[in-house]
Structure 1
Amino acid sequence: MHAPVTRRKTNAAALLRTAALALLAVFAVTGLTAGPAQAADGDVAWTVRTASNSFGADRSSFSYAANPGGMVEDAMVVANHSAVPLDLAVYAADGFTTDAGQLDLLAKDGRSLGIGAWVHATGGKVRIQPGKTADVPFKVTVPANATPGDYVGGIVTSLTQPDAAEGINVDRRLGIRIKLRVGGELKPNLAIDDLHVNYDGSANPFGKGDATITYRIHNTGNTTLSAQQTLSVSGPFGWLRVEAGEIASPPDLLPGESWNVTVPVHGVAPALRLAATATLTPVLTDPSGSTTSLEPVRATTHGWAAPWPLLLLLVVLVVLAAGAFLLARRSRLRRKSREDARVRKAVEKAIRDKSPQGG
């Protein structure tokens, strides 16, 4: 299916490239919407939108369904709002979900295996006169051996300009998302990986603490999925159950992607042994935009929640009780010893008093 997205780190020798990519990333996120891109000096601005055709009008993105070996033709409209002619490169790239939960696109020289490899714009570049628009036709050619499932990427217009102050080239991108579902057997599936629960108790011996549940949502299927999440923590035999409350849904995860989740659960009793259960209800979106909830996926893990303050209090009480018992026992022994001594003296006196007087 899809290869996992790899994050690349530059070394010191690629510092200028890093700076350029950092500026490029600013436009990569906004560039997946049909809004204007405005240069800092205001000299260059353009917009992109979907063409109106048999696929529809005023589409916010491109969305297709095609079988392996199929082909789709469409177009993007580019408008030049500048006072000078505009020469833009046009290319496609695969998409990936960032750590912030946003869709981004691989750089032009990134290794695309789906949309970026199957979408080709006519000519690979476009020139637009000031105040004019131009259609940019493109084709989506699905390989005959393409694996069924969802593919996401985008078609991008790019302008590279020199930054004299920084001495680097800045690549500004503006594009539109492309969603493609390749026909065949769909296997939507989410997995819960690395589920853990940790407990942080209260200093109050009779108080409750907080549990922290962490896990990773892994899209192991071949469709784009989000999910509804529920979490609960309970003691032995399901006693003292506490729900986590409302949890934000993860972003749409592409096949092969993962999303880390950390959820605090408050008001958890230190029940010695905790059971934390995570439940995911995968949500599948079809090309028309309607959603379907799938069978829930559950996973349970266990962790210790020793009531240390209460145990310490009990130890102190036991020690005090034992001390009080020993003191009371010692006191009784002392009283008994004194009483025995008194009785013994009384007996000795009585014996002396009864013995004959003699000289």
Structure 2
Amino acid sequence: MRKVLVMLFVALNVAIGVPAAAADDVPWSVGTADNGYGAERPNYSYTLNPGGQVDDALVVTNRGTTPLVLAVYAADGFTNDRGQLDLRAKDAKSTDLGAWVHAAQSQATVLPGKSVQVPFTLTIPADATAGDHLGGIITSLAQAGDVDRRLAIRIRVRVSGELKPSAAVDDLKLRRSKSDVIVTYTVSNTGNAIVSARPSVSVAGLFGTAQAEAGDTPQLLPGESWKVSTTVREVKASPRLTGKVTLLPLLTDAAGSTGTLDTVSATTHTWSITWLASLLVLALCGATVIVVRRRGAADPGSDADDRHDGHDVPEERDGEVARQDVSTS
């Protein structure tokens, strides 16, 4: 049976940076240790060189009335389908920061009303890529019904080296829905820093341009992508539509300050089947009129050629009628 994980985000959500605290429905809390790295830190944040190492600690407090035995482990971070930072399950293999963090113990026993410190060591591999790496250290309580309840604190590391934040927009498509146009696209973090993006969408046709503002994407780890669908309202019918998405990448540093990068954009086109059919009908009608007129000019009809009964029509000259003889054989 698949184990259900209930993640309680404590200082884990990158976007809002909630301070370390206890969740109301669990009997314990987690926090950072007060040491040389600071007091009352909301989460763990380090800048280290490849091959560097740091020793720190997690504080676990039992707010309940019975002893707790909690599993302690680290895991890689990722952005889930709801746009929130999440951490890999214990049985999922971590290949990045989750593999660099090692707790001094795999379990912590905490008596009611007491706190314990769980030391951990973070070691950066010598070949670690420069830029941002994200994960967390987790405390977990197995409960009945195959449910695993977790409480965690974020760990963010910036490995020294050239920082190359960037984003891209791909897979841009347009789809007409009555008077609206639905624009779908994918925002990708193509750099080595954590970024989000602010998209701006426009659809242009023969009779003007309509625009829509989309909300900011969640913060994306390097290599992650986020699918977006934006509806542009009241787009006038046109034989050809041009869709454009412009991204303003947003870079948030470890201190929480947000800056902007150069915009990037992508463009696509689509043809309206209704308009193409109308243009085809008009073209066929125009071609039919031209053919009919040409045939009429080539065959004037009986009014232009006034011959009858085998005789020529008399020719009038100077008020007289001159008749030509007609020979028959």
TM-score by length of 1: 0.72
Q: 1:225 aligns with which of 165, 187, 195?
A: 195
Matches within 5 A, 1:71-90: 71-90=53-72
Inter-partner Cα distance in structure 2 for 1:309 and 1:177: 55
Residue deviations 1:114-137 (CA, integer Å, cap 9, x gap): 221111111222222210111222
Long gaps (5+) in structure 1: 1-15, 203-208, 323-335, 337-359
Distance change (3 Å), C-alpha of 1:38 and 1:170: farther
Q: Which residue of 1 aligns with 2:136?
A: 154
What secondary structure is seen at the aligned counterpart in 1 of 2:208? coil
CA positional deviation for 1:87? 1.8
Asked whether the equivalents of residues 31 and 37 of structure 1 are also in contact (C-alpha less than 8 Å), the reply is no
Q: Which residue of 2 aligns with 1:141?
A: 123
Q: 1:272 aligns with which of 227, 233, 239?
A: 239
Long gaps (5+) in structure 2: 13-17, 290-302, 304-329
What secondary structure is seen at the aligned counterpart in 1 of 2:132? strand
What letter corresponds to residue 228 of structure 2 in structure 1? Answer: V
Asked whether the equivalents of residues 65 and 287 of structure 1 are also in contact (C-alpha less than 8 Å), the reply is no
Inter-partner Cα distance in structure 2 for 1:54 and 1:305: 65
Q: Which residue of 2 aligns with 1:241?
A: 209
Inter-partner Cα distance in structure 2 for 1:186 and 1:31: 25
Asked whether the equivalents of residues 238 and 275 of structure 2 are also in contact (C-alpha less than 8 Å), the reply is no
What secondary structure is seen at the aligned counterpart in 1 of 2:116? strand
Distance change (3 Å), C-alpha of 1:309 and 1:217: closer
Asked whether the equivalents of residues 105 and 118 of structure 2 are also in contact (C-alpha less than 8 Å), the reply is no
Residue deviations 1:6-65 (CA, integer Å, cap 9, x gap): xxxxxxxxxx2x2x2x2x1x23556846343466xxxx7101112223333322221111
Q: Percent identity?
A: 49
**Number of aligned residue pairs:** 294
What letter corresponds to residue 242 of structure 1 in structure 2? Answer: A
Residue deviations 1:181-221 (CA, integer Å, cap 9, x gap): 11111121212111111223x5xxxxxx2111111111121
Inter-partner Cα distance in structure 1 for 2:239 and 2:275: 10
Matches within 5 A, 1:170-181: 170-181=147-158
Q: Which residue of 2 aligns with 1:59?
A: 41
Structure showing the higher strand proportion among its residues: 2
Structure showing the higher helix proportion among its residues: 1
Q: Which residue of 1 aligns with 2:298?
A: none
What secondary structure is seen at the aligned counterpart in 1 of 2:95? coil
- 1:196 matches 2:173: yes
Asked whether the equivalents of residues 88 and 94 of structure 2 are also in contact (C-alpha less than 8 Å), the reply is yes
Asked whether the equivalents of residues 148 and 222 of structure 1 are also in contact (C-alpha less than 8 Å), the reply is yes
Distance change (3 Å), C-alpha of 1:233 and 1:219: same
CA positional deviation for 1:108? 1.0
CA positional deviation for 1:276? 0.6
Inter-partner Cα distance in structure 1 for 2:270 and 2:82: 29
Matches within 5 A, 1:18-97: 18=2, 20=3, 22=4, 24=5, 26-29=6-9, 32=12, 34-37=20-23, 45-97=27-79
Inter-partner Cα distance in structure 2 for 1:285 and 1:273: 39
Inter-partner Cα distance in structure 2 for 1:287 and 1:176: 15
CA positional deviation for 1:223? 1.1
Asked whether the equivalents of residues 52 and 124 of structure 2 are also in contact (C-alpha less than 8 Å), the reply is yes
Asked whether the equivalents of residues 67 and 182 of structure 1 are also in contact (C-alpha less than 8 Å), the reply is yes
Asked whether the equivalents of residues 88 and 127 of structure 1 are also in contact (C-alpha less than 8 Å), the reply is yes
